[in-house]
Amino acid sequence: MSDSPSGKTVVLGVTGSIAAYKAADLASRLVKRGHEVRVVMTKDAQEFITPLTLQVLSRHPVTADLYDEKQSWHPGHIDLADRADLLVVAPATANLIAKFAHGIADDALGAIHLATLAPVLIAPAMNGKMWEHPATRANVETLLGRGVSFIGPEEGLLACGYEGVGRLWPIEGIEAKIEEMLAAKG
């Protein structure tokens, strides 16, 4: 599992939400705690934050494509799946939740999810109507039934201008939940 000398390996998935910029703070906090942070970004996430930002903060190359397989013969997504002590997706869109619930592996993050034996933590961020939609609720229930953990979302003013549930849980709270899950893992 972890190759990090003082901490654990956290694979941090970042999806295409306006809250993607908050992943930079989360990555930085986890590195300061001594964890090895490996960032995996969806194509849509790159519309909100650059891979370079997360590469500098995590101190590792960012996986942004399923075909970023240039370092060795071993497929990168399998290597990350094997290294992970915890897979965290923050922020997680309705699209990502649906893909995980249905086992869709058409990008690096989906493939890592299917290949890892590590615990999974999802921090949703989306429009409140999307969060409350029966399809999203069913997908969340499916993932909960498989042992996936969720934190949030919280209520407040959303980027779309609506008030409601859908905001990314505060980074400090996500960080605390990550530490709790890593401590429980041993």
Give the tokens for residue 156. 């407040």
CATH number for the domain including 32? 3.40.50.1950
**Domain assignment of residue 141, given as a range:** 9-185
Q: Which of 155, 160, 162, 180 is catalytic?
A: 160
Confirm whether 4 is domain-assigned.
Answer: no
Type of residue numbered 181: M
Domain count for the chain, please give it: 1
**Inside any domain, residue 3:** no
pTM of the shown model: 0.91
Alpha-carbon distances of 119 from 4, 13, 23, rounded to whole Å: 17, 13, 19
Cα(119)–Cα(44) distance, integer angstroms: 24
Residues 6+ apart with CB under 8 A from 27: 12, 37, 39, 54, 57, 58
Residue 88 counted as domain residue: yes
List per-residue pLDDT tens for the chain, 186 residues long: 444 445 899 999 999 999 999 999 999 999 999 999 999 999 999 999 999 999 999 999 999 887 765 555 455 678 899 999 999 999 999 999 999 999 999 999 999 999 999 999 999 999 989 999 999 999 999 999 999 999 999 887 666 666 768 889 999 999 999 999 999 977
**Token code pair at residue 152:** 């949030």
Residue 160 among the catalytic residues: yes
